[in-house]
Chain A
Amino acid sequence: MDSSKQVPVTVLTGFLGAGKTTLLNRILTEQHGKKYAVIVNEFGEQGIDNDLVVDADEEVFEMNNGCICCTVRGDLIRILSGLMKRADKLDAIIVETTGLADPAPVAQTFFVDQDVADRTKLDAIVTVADAVHLSSQLTDHHEAEEQIAFADVVLLNKIDLVDKSGLEAVKERIRKINPFAKIINTTKCGVSLNEILNLDAFSLKRVLEVEPDFLESDHDHEHDDDVTSLSFVSDTPLDMEKFQDWFSKLLQTKGQDILRTKGILDFTGESDRYVFQGVHMLMDASPMGKWPEGKERSSRLVFIGRNLESMNLKEGFENCKSA
């Protein structure tokens, strides 16, 4: 499928009051010459009225294939399929989710439904966070952690209401959960739309550009957040068979707790870079061309999830190195 024909879909998450509605209103009213449709949820804040606003029900359902990870958003399948029949082509679609929603079923919908995958593509997950309240929300609600964990961009809003050290502390906490999300500081969601729309964050090409802070050694948590991230680097090439064996078993058995993964892999005997990214058990992976000449080859792997410490990830990864 020609990706230029797929309409990009941005998922906008964040707790009530963080500023999602302000942002949506900007997207709909700013003179940008683009046509954006916005799918809002029925429990959302009031005040958005536009021809291109669609009410949705956040209906999560399981596929009939026995895979517990294959929960999808049924309403999204219906609405996205409908929007694709419009005579005028949309430049982008924005899906707002409620503050208490798990972003995974939204993301999984783009992996699981063929019609949705053919005509639209998941562009990025943008989480609007309130700089004042995020810390307490992260402590009190696992949904807040998930929204940070899944984010490609965290729009840290209301920064005018916290002092400098408070801002640094909340950013540090975001980075502990999700080292590869881009954090944008804003007041009143004053961000250029180019920084949140059309990012192509779910394309494998973009995984190559990700340079997370590799905090491999730093595991002493100030806050005891459930969701954490772990990353691994190896200059020794990996054995493809060993890696596939370990990684597929890991996702099968721990996929519920692994929220997002990304990686660039250097396999023994392969001239191509292997790139993948995944949401729970669902994975998109492909060779992405030769390693750049003159640069060191290395494998990098990032996990974001719960109970990562219990999964023996380091040992598992080490065992994949070619002897």
Chain B
Amino acid sequence: MSDNKISLGKTFFGGIWDNNPVLRLLLGMCPMLAVTAAVKPALTMGVSVIFVLLFSNIVVSSLRHQLKPHVRILMFTLTIATAVTIADLYLKAFMPEMSASLGPFIPLIIVNCIIIGRAEACASKNGLVVSIIDALGMGAGFTITLCVLAAIREVLATGMIFEQPIPAFTDFYVPWAGMGMPVGAFITLGLMLGAVNLITKKTQA
């Protein structure tokens, strides 16, 4: 029981730090660069990815004993495409402005390597509980990284956060337009990766 608890905790927090999909595994780079100009779209993308990860891991884990090797990838793709279509329809129906601003990047979750990677590496080999915890941990790791990157870019590009002025900062700050463009995403992500490597090196030393 105790071992099981530790293992679930490790699985969850592993997704946030040790096996962070973006900062350690370098997966999901496309949305990381494309939807991080502001925190709101980044958060929406993160929550969408958590939903797709959960849906995919639950289905794959539940059917793992029935999965034949040659239909495995087809089954993963079918499951992921279904979850992504549900997320896309939901956003179009209930968050139309956000859906329009995210454009093709919600449908593109289908080709996000994190999802199929977790289906293959975790859900197809483990039970339901571990698969759910893995999906939550990986999804949280992806969402947190996405939001941190987006927050840095939004503050530097506009002087605001969540599209709201920051008291005593917005007044004197001169917006840095470059941070709102792709170059800002590349530079910020590069610096974040460098910082994570530095922290890892120091903690291991």
Q: Do A and B come from one complex?
A: no
B contact residues vs A (CB 8 Å cutoff): none
A contact residues vs B (CB 8 Å cutoff): none
